[in-house]
Amino acid sequence: MPKFAANLSMLFAELPFLERFEAARMAGFDTVEILFPYDVPAREILEALSHNNLGLALINNPPPNYAGGQRGFAAVPDGQERFRYDFKRALRYVEVLGADLLHIMSGAASGPQARATFLENLNWATQYAPKQRLTIEPINNVDMPGYFLNSFDLAAEILDEVAAPNLALQFDTYHAYRIDGDVSACWGRHSERVGHIQIGGLPDRHEPAGGPFDYPNFFRQLDASGYAGYVSAEYNPVGRTAAGLGWLSPRPL
């Protein structure tokens, strides 16, 4: 089976945030990801990770938490100065927490100028932090209206133009389904660029079981391909998180 991680921004949400780390460890996870950790002091998160012997796969850029604000702005024209300032802030969290990946969010924008801005910011970020692994993720325009990076083909073009060894594709099966309709075909076209995977049930982003996509077969494909990254559970549990983790079998809980 692949290496699984628990997205603590969505899983175990029935618990206070800092109690979710222990719950993830008790459920059998050894790695977690956090979308926006910036509302909690980094040292408190580090203590929770260390106490439960958990690794941190990924966090999102930009800080702070996007509640009520923009969900990223790397492609927003004339926002380069703000992007660089907040990218450096995010890197400080990455360094304290030991996060493997930093996901750069494009934000809502459109047109040639937005594309040029996104390329400029990504080129700068990959060169400013050459040892930090970075990702970009296509997000569907139903969940995030107006989001610039709303196509896997566009993401592939951007990755090829930047051509940085520390920048990879973040492949979310839920967004692939919403954007392309055929997750398997989308994976087939873009798997070589993928550095991180997120999964959720289709079509409603609950537990990754049943529905129109064969997750057990997908996991077998990942094993056969030698994929070495994490597969992060990023979904909204139907009930209490632990009760819905049967999809992890035969992985012991």
- In degrees to the nearest 10, what's the CA dihedral of 56, 22, 248, 103? -20
Q: Give the C-alpha separation, 73 to 114, whole Å.
A: 10
* Residue tagged 């389904």 (tokens): 177
The closest of 40, 1, 29, 2 to 242, measured between CA atoms, is 29
Q: How far apart are the first and last CA of the chain?
A: 13
Q: Which member of 137, 157, 192, 207 is catalytic?
A: 137
Q: How far is CA 146 from CA 62, 112, 142, 150, in A?
A: 17, 14, 9, 8
137 is catalytic: yes
Widest CA span of the chain, in angstroms? 50
Helices 80-97 and 112-128 pack at an angle, to 10 degrees, of: 40
Q: Which member of 22, 33, 47, 234 is catalytic?
A: 234
81 is catalytic: no
Q: What angle do CA 91, 131, 147 make, to 5 degrees?
A: 55
Residues that are catalytic: 137, 234
